[in-house]
Every structure is written in C-alpha cells, then in structure tokens.
Amino acid sequence: MSPSPTQPSSDNDSAYAESQDVSSYTTSLASSITAYKYEHGRRYHAYQEGRYILPNDEQEQERLDIQYHALRLAFEDKPFLAPIDSPAAVLDVGTGTGIWAMDVADSYPNAEIIGTDLSPIQPIWVPPNVKFEVDDLELEWTFPTDHFDLIHTRILSGSIQHWKLFFQQSFRHCKPGGFLECQELDVYAATEDDSLSDDSAIRKWCANQEEAAQKMGRSLRVSGEDFKKQMEDAGFQNVEVRKYKLPIGPWPLDPKLKEVGLFQLAAMLEGIDGLTLALWTRFLGWDDKEITVFLQQVKSEFKRSSIHSYWPL
C-alpha cells in the first residue's frame, strides 16, 4: 500500500523534504538580498533597504578600493594602528569590497577575519581565514561576547545612526584587552591657507551633504573627542585620538602625501556622483540635472592646484 500524500514514506524522504525546504528558504533569502534597487542609474543595496545611502555598484566599489589605497599610504602600509601583534579574531564592520579584511587575512593567516556589510559585493575567492556576512550591525549582534581582539571601522560616518549603541555592542563583543579602532573622516573639506572659501562649490557641497544626512537622521561630521567620550562611557579604557590630514589632490610638497592626494582626488572624481545623488534627490529635492551641473563645479575646484583642501581624519 502506498503511503498517503500527507505521510512521509520514510525518514530519508522526511530529511529530503526538510532539506528542500531549507534550500528553498536559503535561495529565497539570497534572492531578496541581491534584489538590488536602481535609482538615477545607480544600484543600491536591498537588505535593510534605505539604511545605507550610497550605491553598491562597480563604480562605487572602485571608489572604495581607491580610497583604501589612499588610507593605506597615509597609515604607512599599516592596516590598523592598534598595538596587536597576532590577533586571533577580527571584525571588519562595513567591509565594503572586503579589501581591508582580505589584506588583514593575508597578513595574519592564523587569525579569523569576519567582514560584515549590507551588500554581498565581496569576491568569491578569498583567503581561507576570512568570511563575509550580510548583516546590519545596528541590530543586535549575534557574535559571541568577549570574542574579538580587534573591531575595525573605516569611514562609516553617515552609515551608523546610533554610535553610542555601536560602541556599547563593540565593548560587549571585544575580548578583555581587545581594541576598537574607528578610522573615520570628517566630511568638511578643510584648508590651512584660506585657499578654500565658504562660498566655494566644495564647501557648499559639504554643507548640503550634512543637511541631507541630518534629515536622514545621520551625520557626516566626526569629532574624535566626541567618539572618545562615548567609547569611554561604553567601558573602553586608554582611548587615544590620532588626527591625520587626507589631502585632496597632488598639492602637498611631501612625496608620500602628494601620492595620497592623487588617490583621494581620483576617489572623489570617480565617486562624488554616487555620494550625492540619493541624499540630494531624496532629502533636498534636487533633480539629476541640477546635481550634475553643480558637481561639475565641485570637481573643477577639486582639480585646481591653487586649492589646498584636505579631509580631517
């Protein structure tokens, strides 16, 4: 007698049915994560849609990698500044293309590196000691407590809405004696020689970026002193603030800084449209054509050798 359609014919069939259900769920979940949104000719993340304001397409990925090389030069080829000789577990929050995580994985082959991001845009072929996860680190963390030797962020200003909560969760999941290192950029172009006026297109762009970010409930302005206090309030000790200047363009006399400036200029020229479009159209009411015309002025100023601008880092 054949079994009823509502009854499993055997344990094997039951296991097969369960595996099919899991497989279907996994496929559905993967499909939803990669069901990217397209807007103004750019591609945006699907998971936690709207949480992150920048694109995740190839043009933006190229900007991120160029920016990585600029910072690697600025930090004298060091991926991080924390005094850790041989980390066992490292978390890279907002890993982007995964270039930093893979670099650290190559440098520390005995370490476990986890990179998290809202977008699964990282390479498939990676070092065996690195893995990437689609995750939103503003939600409750599922990692073990007291686990990481190093938690790392890089230029997430505008991405994290609740830094206080982020610092609290970081402290909870750092090992005793572990480090949190935030390499964050203040999105307000500075100069030391008054070569950049407040009515310049660059400064107007910075002001509009911050206005739009504020309407989104974020801020692009970063203060090392504010971060220090919030980290200490979360429980971190011996918090140190180091300040750098990231030149935009090849204007510095120092050869290394000149190269840093070239990389950073390339990153801005490549990526400023993506940095701007969603913020200004969604929150400031600008249209594509207005933005394109204005950004041509900004790019022109960035390329002027007479303007000695830099990002405070």
How far is Cα 33 from Cα 119, in angstroms, rounded to an integer? Answer: 7
Sheet of strand 148-154, all strands in order from the earlier edge strand to the far edge = 130-134, 112-117, 89-93, 148-154, 174-183
3-state secondary structure 272-283: HHHHHHHHHHHH
Q: What is the pLDDT of residues 27-51, one digit of tens each?
A: 334 667 888 889 989 999 888 776 7
Write out the two tokens for 280.
Answer: 């200004």
8 has pLDDT over 70: no
How far is Cα 265 from Cα 249, in angstroms, rounded to an integer? Answer: 5
What is the CA 292 to chain-centroid distance, rounded?
Answer: 24
Instruction: List residues bridging with 255 in a β-sheet.
Output: none
Class for the domain spanning 37-312: alpha beta
Confidence of residue 3 (pLDDT cuts 50, 70, 90): very low
Would you state the pLDDT for residue 265?
A: 97
- Sequence-separated (6 or more) residues with CB below 8 Å from residue 58: none
Q: Are 248 and 310 in contact (CB under 8 A)?
A: yes
Closest C-alpha among 260, 238, 219, 142 to residue 181:
238
Q: Are 122 and 132 in contact (CB under 8 A)?
A: yes
17 has pLDDT over 70: no
Q: What is the pLDDT of residues 156-200, one digit of tens each?
A: 988 899 999 999 999 999 999 999 999 999 999 999 898 999 999
pTM over 0.85: yes
What is the CA 14 to chain-centroid distance, rounded?
Answer: 43
Mean pLDDT of 76-97: 95
Would you state the pLDDT for residue 31?
A: 67
Mean pLDDT of 124-136: 94
Write out the two tokens for 289.
Answer: 């054509």
Q: Are 209 and 279 in contact (CB under 8 A)?
A: yes
Would you state the pLDDT for residue 179?
A: 98
Q: Are 277 and 214 in contact (CB under 8 A)?
A: no
Would you state the pLDDT for residue 286?
A: 98
Mean pLDDT of the chain: 89
Q: Are 186 and 313 in contact (CB under 8 A)?
A: yes
Mean pLDDT of 84-105: 97
